[in-house]
Amino acid sequence: MGRGADYPEPAANPNDLTAIPAGPAGEQQGSRGHKRKQTLLSLLDALAELSKDEGLDELAPNQQPSFEDDRDVPTVDEHLQKVGAEAFNKFQRRVMNLDKELRNFANAARQLGSSVGILSSSYHLRGRLAQILYLFRENAADLFPRKISRQSRESISSTNLAQFRKGKRHRAPPHVHNPIVMEKLDPEDFPEQLQMFAQDVTTFLDCLNEFPEFTDEAVNAAILALEGDLKYWASCLKAYEGQFKYPAVQRYLHDLSSEMGEHIDSITSSLSVFIEIGVPTIRFAQKHASQNLLNLSTVATFFSAVTATTMQFSFDMTDSTLANAVNSFWFTSLVFSIGAAVNSLLGVTWKQAMYRSPGHRVPWWVLIWIKRSPLAFLVLSVACFSIGLVLFAYSSGQHQVTCTLTTVFSACSIVGLTAVSAWFASERWAFSRHNGTKWLADVLSETKVKVKSTRGVKWLIYEPRAWAWACSRWTRQHFRKLSDAVSELSARTVSRLTTVSEEKLADTERGITPVSPVPACASPEPLSPTFRRVGSEGGQLSPIAELTNTAASVTGDEDGTASIMSDHVGSLPGAGRGRFANAVRAVIKMRAASTAFPVEGRNPRRQRTMSSDGNGKEAEPVGVLKNSRVGTLVPKLKSLHPTQSFEAHVALVRHLQFSPNGKFLATSSWDRTSVIFKVGVSRSVREGMVLVPIHAQETFTSHRILAHPQGFVGQVAWSPSGHMLLTKLGRGVKVWTEDGVCRRTIDRRRNVQSITWLPGGEAFLSVEGSDVTKLDLNGTVLATYHFDRMVLHDVAVTQDGVRMVCVGTLTASADGFHPSKCRAEKQIIAYNMVKQEIENRVPVLHEVRDITLARNDQVALVSYENKAPPQLWKLDPVKDSVRLSLRHTYMPKVVVDFAGPSYFGGKNDQLVLCAGKAGDIHIWDRESGTLLHHIRAQTVGGDLTCIAWNHAWDTFMFATGSHDGGVRIWTTPAHFSGSIDSSAVSSRAPTNPANTPRSISPAPYDADYRTDSPTIQLSADAGDGALDTLAPRNSSQTLRPPIVVSS
């Protein structure tokens, strides 16, 4: 509807009813316009009433700060709203997936016996998930109202009301319909709901383990991990009672959704595998057990029929005691067989029933009667029938052989049946006693050892055995002596008979043997082997005959050579000796050749090296509104360029800091040194009454090098006056003057996490584990502030010295719970040093690194690890205390792994700086959270470790440290007026900075340069009082700064 000329301009407040005209202007519109106006008035009345109701909650003291004065806030806030909404939607999808898997599990579990417990527990777990999701949605709707809408409780339960409208006859069981949020939930119910959630998942796990046929360790581990973290979260959240409407606690709860979502994903995947594998396995095992009971029932029924048939031959025999005994045993057997059949059918029905109670909720006698009685009754029935059969054989006057065989075989059957039954019962006892860790055979072996170790039993077992061994040993010894005597006697007799016969034979041969005229060497049959030379073309060698009384043998030694052994070597003829020597040489060469082939080595495997060069995309320019109050900062920030770069250390630069007066820059490194640089003043000339700078490039001179033989230097801290310097070691602190004189070495004998000065400069604070110790410059302990169940990381003190703000990690909850899988809770604590009490604490989930207070003590900058962006927290005064509230989260364009602490910068701490490990630098506006400038990693060149801002300098100046020990100084031109062409001062760097020659000194405002600096040479002569100028990378001078070595 168009706007008429008579309508005034609308009011700024849309709920202001006085802005809508009434009277003559409305009467000119006619009936149709009057109706429209009345409709609008009624709608505005309704909106006004709603706004009044909502305004009551918005006027609470925990209201989030308004940023309506910053025009850049909507863009930043929109990004945060989008990121937060995506995180909640991801959590909602995870919860819905788990709810779907629980529904599928319930449908599959209905096929199993005794599934009512798991169905009920899964239904209650789904209901608890719905309540948890409702609470997290309400929390997200408070944080991100433009992206997350609230869901009324009626909308959750309205879709399921149709099931309750059905009649009682058609109403579904309580475990079938969808869960409903019936109770009224409040954010203060978070700890209770998380505790009940832990109980529900524990109940679900217990019901799941009621199926002994299948156990999934993955499901157990996932559920137990979730249970432990839920109890830990519930216990930690109890400390924030009454603060669940505060934005800081709401943000922590929102971050917990991601941790809980990981647990839910793990349970969902494990439950899906259980549905696919576990449920069919359990179903098969239950069918198998039911089939066994059915078979037992069939056997019992058949045996009862046999017993009843047999009783027809003896039921009328009642004239003797033996006949009565037969009837008694057979009637008892019939009773037991019928009981076994009936109990088997009862067990089948009980096992297949869905609504039967779990095993641990049934009395022991019921379980024994249903599970054990069928088999026991059948065994007793068989035993009674066998005894009655033996007695019947005697009572009916059967033949003696028949009676004997019946008795023997029945006895064997009964004994075997009793032994096997006892073995089964013992196995069951061993399983229940040792929980499956020992078999029955192991238990029997241990029992046997214990029985044998008894004193009397040991004597009965080992003494007779020892006597038997002694007797057998005495018998063997005497038998051996007797056999030896007999053998010696027989040998002597045979030897004497052999000697007599040899003498007679020698006399006979000496009288009749003629002398042979043929020499032994002419024997036609050679007795030695022939040899062939390897590789020779000749025939066989001539044979070598053995001479009379000559023994020759060729033997192989260990080294593979042949040796000749004979009694008469000289008796060989010359030609035969040469042939024999040649044969020996041939054998030696042949054996040597068999081992002379070298083993071919493996060719070295050729390794490939892969290189990948990433083509980084140019970052998009930061869009900032020209009319914004931060718009004037962008040209200055874009004019930032590196003016100097020098090698300060030979190892990683751990920390650096400018002095409060801006005259010095202190650095610390892992090379066990700390360097003090003196910031030079630009030269200028006077034109009239104005100083005009000639060179805008500041100069840095190496003032002192502070050596620390004890260990690495982790932190430097300038005093408020700028005349004293603290250096932090692993277990101590050193106090230095600005001229490098070590005043004191304070040994703390504890790990020192961080140090910070008190505002007056008369003392400092040392963070040591769970304590913050106040020390003077002589190392005297002035006070100690203890924080229970906390490990502190950093601390900052307000300018009035009344409060300090600490960051640390919670070691355990108030109830003693520890996180099982999630990250431990971290806290930001506002502590009153005068009253020595905690005024306020807020939880955070990310790994806190350090904290820095602005100079006005109104805001604190908290830095995190593991790619978490820095955050700005406001200290709101509330009566005599303060309360911490989250003001901004400084989001980069892409995920960045930040390095070192974040810093305030600019005039009145209007900027926030943070360096990335990859080498990029982000600069935000503190108040609006807008990313004003992003210096890319290619421009910086090298991995960064820390950053520091010079607050006392007129122009923008900050320093960065890197892994290679280098320090780079960034400044803006001194004559910058704020309207410089962005193309002339944009931050850029050449692709190959090493190609820049050292002999060329570029202009100080050119950004396209990077030159190398010679390595700093440290002189050991500490008496040299001259201070050499530390040259930048484009200088060729070699520096020799004085070294101060502290003992």
Q: Which range (40-49, 286-295, 554-563) has the least confidence?
A: 554-563
Three-state DSSP class for residue 875? strand
Chain center to CA of 561: 66
CA dihedral 80, 84, 85, 88 (to 10 degrees): 180
Tens digit of each residue's pLDDT (9 = 90 or more) over 905-956? 988 888 999 998 888 899 999 988 888 988 887 666 668 889 999 988 878 8
Q: How far apart are CA 864 and CA 399, in angstroms?
A: 100
* Predicted confidence (pLDDT) at residue 616 exceeds the cutoff of 70: no
* Predicted confidence (pLDDT) at residue 159 exceeds the cutoff of 70: no
Confidence (pLDDT) at 9: 40
* Predicted confidence (pLDDT) at residue 389 exceeds the cutoff of 80: yes
Q: Which range (296-300, 556-560, 873-877) has the least confidence?
A: 556-560
Q: Which range (368-372, 635-639, 697-701) has the least confidence?
A: 697-701
* Predicted confidence (pLDDT) at residue 14 exceeds the cutoff of 50: no
DSSP state of 896: -
Q: Could you tell me where the DSSP H helices lie in 707-843?
A: none
Q: How far apart are CA 140 and CA 85, in angstroms?
A: 8
In the chain, what is the greatest distance between 2 CA atoms, to the nearest angstrom?
Answer: 179
Confidence (pLDDT) at 444: 86
pTM metric for this prediction: 0.64
CA nearest neighbour of 191 among 112, 273, 249, 259: 249
CA triple 505-507-511, angle to 5 deg = 115
Confidence (pLDDT) at 33: 59
Confidence (pLDDT) at 771: 94
* Predicted confidence (pLDDT) at residue 333 exceeds the cutoff of 90: yes
Task: Confirm if 942 and 962 have CB atoms less than 8 A apart.
Answer: yes
Q: How far apart are CA 291 and CA 344, in angstroms?
A: 10
Q: Which range (221-225, 419-423, 698-702, 1018-1022) has the least confidence?
A: 1018-1022
CA nearest neighbour of 931 among 549, 620, 598, 660: 620
pLDDT confidence band for 285 (50 / 70 / 90): confident
* Predicted confidence (pLDDT) at residue 545 exceeds the cutoff of 90: no
* Predicted confidence (pLDDT) at residue 527 exceeds the cutoff of 90: no
Task: Confirm if 805 and 872 have CB atoms less than 8 A apart.
Answer: no
Segment 249-259 shows an average pLDDT of: 91
* Predicted confidence (pLDDT) at residue 282 exceeds the cutoff of 70: yes
Tens digit of each residue's pLDDT (9 = 90 or more) over 30-49? 555 566 666 666 666 666 65
* Predicted confidence (pLDDT) at residue 288 exceeds the cutoff of 80: yes
Amino acid at 1037: Q
Structure tokens at 475: 């018998």
Rounded to 5 degrees, φ, ψ at 278 are -70, -45
CB-based burial label for 85 (10 Å; 0-12, 13-18, 19+): middle
Confidence (pLDDT) at 95: 94
Confidence (pLDDT) at 35: 61
In the numeric block, the tokens 């109830």 are attached to 815
* Predicted confidence (pLDDT) at residue 997 exceeds the cutoff of 80: no
H-helix or E-strand spanning residue 334: helix 321-352
Structure tokens at 964: 């290679």
* Predicted confidence (pLDDT) at residue 377 exceeds the cutoff of 80: yes
* Predicted confidence (pLDDT) at residue 795 exceeds the cutoff of 80: yes
Residue percentage of the chain with pLDDT more than 90: 29
In this structure, are strands 700-707 and 673-679 parallel, antiparallel, or unpaired? Answer: antiparallel
pLDDT confidence band for 1030 (50 / 70 / 90): very low
Rounded to 5 degrees, φ, ψ at 346 are -65, -40
DSSP state of 1016: P
Tens digit of each residue's pLDDT (9 = 90 or more) over 948-992? 999 888 788 999 998 888 899 998 876 554 433 333 333 333 333
Confidence (pLDDT) at 436: 77
Chain center to CA of 759: 42
Task: Confirm if 674 and 727 have CB atoms less than 8 A apart.
Answer: yes
Task: Confirm if 139 and 185 have CB atoms less than 8 A apart.
Answer: no
Segment 601-608 shows an average pLDDT of: 38
Residue 38 half-sphere exposure toward CB, CA atoms < 13 A:
8
Within a 10 A sphere around the Cβ of 140, how many other Cβ atoms?
25
